[in-house]
Amino acid sequence: MCKTAYRWFPLLIGATALSMIGSLYLVFVYAPTEQMMGFVQRIFYFHVPAAWVGFLAFGVAFIAAMTFLVRRELGWDMLQIASVEIGILFSTMALVSGSLWARPVWNTWWTWDPRLTTTLVMWLYYVSTLLLRRIVEGEERRARFAAMLNVIGFINVPLVFLAIRLWRTIHPVLFTTQGFAMETSMLLTLAASLLAFTLLFACLLVIRMRLERLNNEIGRLKQSLTMLANEQRGVP
């Protein structure tokens, strides 16, 4: 599985770079300036894809976690580590970019709005799971606990969307019942950004998994060396 991925990897990087450059152009040159918020509205083209990738990453982690619990192969654990870390990274970007946007538009850095609250809670939850990983001893147990937490934690993602159905929110809503509340050129720019970020996610995932694999390999080698050394010295 990994060998084929690595062969296509340069292609993936190339595609990501191209789409990034393309969407940067679209965001800063092509897209029209929004009438109410002005130039700062362009954060939208970073904020939304970042949030989207966060959710996607946690979804991938969810699937990897369930597969791990069934098949108990450490490869799936590597996928869940990578996904969760990248998910946290992009969720942080979404929270920060949202905050930067909120300041000029809502005149506050933060508010306990349902969407913001649920997103923050999701962020806190996944950060806690990372912390747990550092503290739990035993590779298999660590993977198993993380998998359990990732399976349960995924409920946070639909909750972010559901929260605004249940309570009123001041956060702008994209997908209303009347369809997209946006001009086509903006939609196009958004689509391009989404693509760029998703490709970036794929790149980072591959890199992070490779890192994890190499790390494990080093661990394995270290252990074999220690065992060999012990045997030479006659230590049981």
Partner 1 sequence: MRSWCSVAAIVAKDVAAELRSKETLSSMFIFALLVVVMFNFAFELRVDNVRQIAPGVLWVAFAFAGVLGFNRSFVLERENGCIEGLMLLPVERSTIYLGKFLGNVLFMLIAEALILPIFSVLFDLSILHPLLWLVVALGTVGLAAAGTFLAAMAVNTRAREIMLPILLFPVTVPVMIAATKATGQILDGRPVAELYAWLRLLLAFNLVFTLLAFLGFEYVLEE
Partner 2 sequence: MSLAAEQHNSWAVEADGLSKRFGHLSALRNISFKVPCQSFAIIAGPNGAGKTTLLRILATLSRPSSGWACVNGLDLQEAGPAIRRHIGFVSHQTLLYGDLSAVENLRFYGRMYQVPELERRIAEVLVQFDLTERHADPVRTLSRGLQQRLSLARAILHRPSVLLLDEPYAGLDARGADNLDALLRRLQTEGHTILMATHDLARGAEMAQQLLILVAGKIVYEASSAALSAQELQSIYRQYAASVPFRGEEVVR
Q: Which range of residues in 50-58, 133-141, 174-182, 188-196 is near partner 1 by CB under 8 A?
A: 133-141
- Which of 72, 124, 128, 152 is in the footprint of partner 2 by CB under 8 A? 72
CB of 145 to partner 2, least distance (A): 14
Between CA 167 and CA 175 the distance in angstroms is 16
Residue 198 or 216 with smaller CB distance to partner 2: 216
216 binds, among partner 1, partner 2, none (CB under 5 to 8 A by kind): partner 2
Which of 66, 100, 121, 194: binder of partner 1 (CB under 8 A)?
A: 121
Three-class DSSP category at 168: coil
Of 144 and 213, which has the nearer Cβ to partner 1?
144
CA–CA–CA angle 16, 81, 223 (5° rounding): 120
Q: To 10 degrees, what angle do helices 139-153 and 114-135 make? A: 170
Q: Which two tokens stand for residue 218?
A: 């080093």
Q: Binding of partner 2 at residue 223 (CB under 8 A)? A: yes
Tokens read off for 91: 């969720």
What the block records as the tokens of 209 is 């998994």
Which of 43, 89, 39, 66 lies closest to 205 in space, CA to CA? 89
Tabulate helix, strand, coil % of the chain (nearest 5).
Answer: 80, 5, 15
Task: Provide the minimum distance between the beta carbon of 230 and partner 2 in the complex, in angstroms, as a whole number.
Answer: 8
Q: How far is the CB of 178 from partner 1 (least distance, A)?
A: 26
191 lies in the binding site for partner 1 (CB under 8 A): no
Calpha distance 61→58 (Å, rounded): 5
Q: Which of 70, 132, 140, 215 binds partner 2 (CB under 8 A)?
A: 140
Q: Smallest gap, in angstroms, from Cβ of residue 216 to partner 2?
A: 8
- Identity of the residue numbered 77: D
From 202, 211, 207, select the one nearest 57 (Cα to Cα): 202
Q: What are phi and psi of 76, to 5 degrees?
A: -70, -30
| Of residues 50-89, those binding partner 1 (CB under 8 A) | 69
User: What is the closest distance, in whole angstroms, from the C-beta atom of residue 132 to partner 1 in the complex?
Assistant: 6
Minimum gap (Å) between residue 7 Cβ and partner 1: 36
Residues that bind partner 1 (CB under 8 A): 69, 117, 121-122, 124-125, 128-129, 131-132, 135-137, 141, 144-145, 147-149, 151-152, 155, 159, 166
